[in-house]
Amino acid sequence: MNPDPVTLSPARIRERLRMAQGELGWRGSGHLTRVRGDHDLNPDIMPKGPLKLASVLVPLVVRPDNVTVLLTKRTAHLQAHAGQISFPGGGIEEGDSDAVACALRETEEEIGLTRERVEVVGRLDTYVVRTGFQVTPVVGLVTPPFELQRDEFEVAEVFEVPLSFVLDRRNHERRMREDFGGLKREFWVMPYHEYYIWGATAGMLVNLCEVLHDAS
């Protein structure tokens, strides 16, 4: 049974994220023992060696009639993940005090959404990608009005998807394709209109759905 979107008020989202944090044992920073990632569907591709630390912001925009998830589409000329749908974020730098600071800084740099407009309400499971990154997804509530100014070199487009779409498990698809070595790999996909949300971003959205469904 899908949750009624009306019940997913900002207060309800805060409550469910708070309950999830108790399960994860997270108090704002530090490492978790529960790790998700590309290896969930493909156990043989767990990266070897030290992982690069990164974080992303999962922005939940509180609109008058619903809550949406803000996403970006990367520009086509980038060397890594060109044209893919992603959350704003990037690698943790020396000046970042923690994963939250990194996610807020990267968000401001990429799309111009200032940290004053973001209420951090929790996080999702650590996510490991096959390219060797350990990503902390930080969840934040964003209340309009706000202005965006995207970095045109990195971000081709900013758009929003209804949270109710993400919470409907019928929109979560598992697909398979062969990689360059001829091995078959599975991955999550959430097609939304003309947007093809897949890979790590779709995997984190699946985790968001689990948290908002199951924390209670």
CATH code assigned at 100: 3.90.79.10
| 126 and 34 Cβ atoms separated by less than 8 Å | yes
pLDDT computed for residue 22 by the predictor: 64
Q: What is the pTM of this model?
A: 0.88
Domain carrying residue 74: 5-214
Cis check for the bond before 145: say yes or no (omega within 30 of 0).
Answer: yes
Confidence of residue 183 (pLDDT cuts 50, 70, 90): confident
For 36, phi then psi, to 5°, come to: -105, 175
The answer to whether 58 touches 138, Cβ cutoff 8 Å, is yes
Nearest residue to 195 (alpha-carbon basis) of 84, 110, 107: 84
Report yes or no: 91 and 78 within 8 Å, Cβ to Cβ: no
Question: Residue 3: pLDDT above 70?
Answer: no
Q: Report the domain count for the chain.
A: 1
- For residue 181, give the 3-state DSSP assignment: coil
